Amino acid sequence: MTVAGDMWRGTARGRPLATVVLLLGCAGLAMGQQLVKGPFSGQLIDMRNGTLRVVTILEAPFTMKEKTADGSYKYTGFCVDMINELSRMLKFDYDLYEVPDRTYGAMTDDGEWSGMVGQLVNDKADIALAAFTITSERERYVDFTERYMDYGIGFLMKRSNKEKQNYFAFLLPFQPVVWACLLAAIFVVAIMLFITSRIRIKLNIANPERDNDRQFNIRNSIWFAYGSLVRKGVEPAPRSLPVRIMAGTWWLFGLIVISTYTANLTAFLTVKRLEQPIRSIDDLAKQTEIAYGIPTGGGLYSFFRSQQGTGTIYELMWNYMNTEPTTFVKGLTGGVERVRQGNFVFMYDAPILEYRVNTDTSCQLMLLPNTFRPQGYGLATRSDSGLQEGLSFGILHLKENGKITELRDRWWPKVGCSMDGSESEAAAEGLALDSFVGVYIVVAVGGALAMVAALAEVSWHSYCNNRPNVPTQQEDTNNTVSEQRKLTEEVLRGIDNGTLQILIRKTPPVIDTCPAHNGGPPDIKSDGKFV
């Protein structure tokens, strides 16, 4: 293959151009003794006095132009590889050139076609080779081959630079209503423990030596309920049967709550969750915070313009874009640059957007998961030129032998930036400090409240001590202990010096009036023991 000026010449296995004949008929395609069978209608085209003129448009990765070491240029890309495969299969040569106005083609106000469609209609090209969308409007003026690729319209937007900071991320595993119910449950259980203990004490059911119902006052009950929920051992420990049943049920409840919270907290803090308020065209049309747009001209522009008066969601979007002039951008490059500025969604062919995201060195772009308006790419030929059926046969053959899939995997490698903007699963990141700021705030608030309580207690104690002629309970206790100590010392001193004597009197035995086991009264020995 050679380049002459703006023309790229492709040959069939290096054969001279004058020997190339493209035969279309019920027998198939023939070149000398070569025969490829196919279901064709029957037409003979002699290409010995010319070559196939192929017009294209630069659109990565379908058609690209690269500079070689010797300073010349060559065309590469998915479409270039595909036309080379068709050239080898169908035995034809071609010259490749770029469309002058660099557009796919749309009908102007004066009824003329621009772009590649205009090149075919005006007999300046035989084949249009590009990511050329098959539409009914174009089909009336040119012939399209079999689809070589199916696609939909995708949504390109800028990826969030970082996750939105949430200092209270530790609260995310449960919704606010769940936290409110947990707080209420602590007080409800505490009140039930307190009431149960009070009832047992009032009815004299509690055993003072075994049960500890008196310790379950309202303060201790709340502390017990809270400590049990956070899986910390607290006092008092339940001893009576009703309190143990209530405590056991509460412990089971706490086990389930803590286990669920731990599992959800792990997911919320370790998995990067990027906000995607828009996942489909319906989401895009229903919101107004994020602008969206399309390229001026082309098939997508014509599609939205044709939706006026239909009452569909597409008409709603078209009306919005008409009120915002900045939503119409100049081609793919203008759309991508507009997306990089932020707060903009660009609608375009999904395969082309996918390539842009995958090759973005800064990984700032992302592609939303859903598409709309399913379509297909095909090669376009001059109307009634007879090239359509032969090329369609070649494309079908390339599909069947897996060559199209091979070319797609080559030009859309599954490496590089992720399509949805998510982080690589293999890259494990430590949790940042901002994930725990809320926890530190809770500890700081708790410490501040503890200091306030301590200061209040000290102030109250100082106030009570400074009150005149009002003995405190502690003073009364100290006075009582002091008087008891003095009395004890005086008694011991009197015993030592003989001024006090201790008189011990023997108490007569108590006779049990209950009958003995044999039915008779018990006997008493002289020493007072029963016999």
Going by the annotation, the residues of the binding site are: 133, 138, 349
> Contact 57/102 with Cβ under 8 angstroms?
yes
Nearest to 38 by CA among 120, 135, 146: 146
Closest CA to 239 of 192, 204, 206, 198: 206
Q: Which two tokens stand for residue 192?
A: 């039930």
Beta pairing class for 34-36 and 73-76: unpaired
d(CA 520, CA 111): 135
Point out the annotated binding site for L-glutamate. 133, 138, 349
Beta strand residue intervals within 356-493, DSSP E:
365-367, 372-377, 380-382
DSSP state of 55: E
Furthest CA-CA distance within the chain: 153
- For 240, the 3-state DSSP assignment is coil
Query: Who's near 158: CB < 8 A, 6+ residues apart?
Result: 339, 340, 341, 342, 343, 344, 364, 365, 366
Q: How far is Cα 113 from Cα 91, in angstroms, rounded to an integer?
A: 31
Residue 493: burial class (beta carbons within 10 Å; 0-12, 13-18, 19+): exposed
Using an 8 Å Cβ cutoff, are 48 and 21 in contact?
Answer: yes
Helix (H, G, I), strand (E, B) or coil at 293: strand
Give the number of other CB atoms < 10 A from CB of residue 113: 18
CA distance 377 to 134: 6
Q: How far is CA 229 from CA 116, 173, 194, 483, in A?
A: 72, 16, 17, 48
Beta-sheet pairing, 94-98 with 52-56: parallel
Neighbours of 95 (CB within 10 A): 19
Both tokens of 75, joined, read 């065309």
For residue 527, give every residue at least 6 positions away whose Cβ sits within 8 Å of its Cβ, in sequence order, or none.
Answer: none
Residue with tokens 């949790």: 431
- The per-residue DSSP string of 250-263 comes to HHHHHHHHHHHHHH
Beta-strand ranges (E) seen in 140-266 are: 142-144, 149-158
Q: The tokens 């539409």 sit on which residue? A: 135
**Helix (H), strand (E) at residue 292:** strand 291-295
Take residue 213 and report the two structure tokens written for it.
């119902």
Phi then psi dihedrals of residue 353, to 5 deg: -65, -40
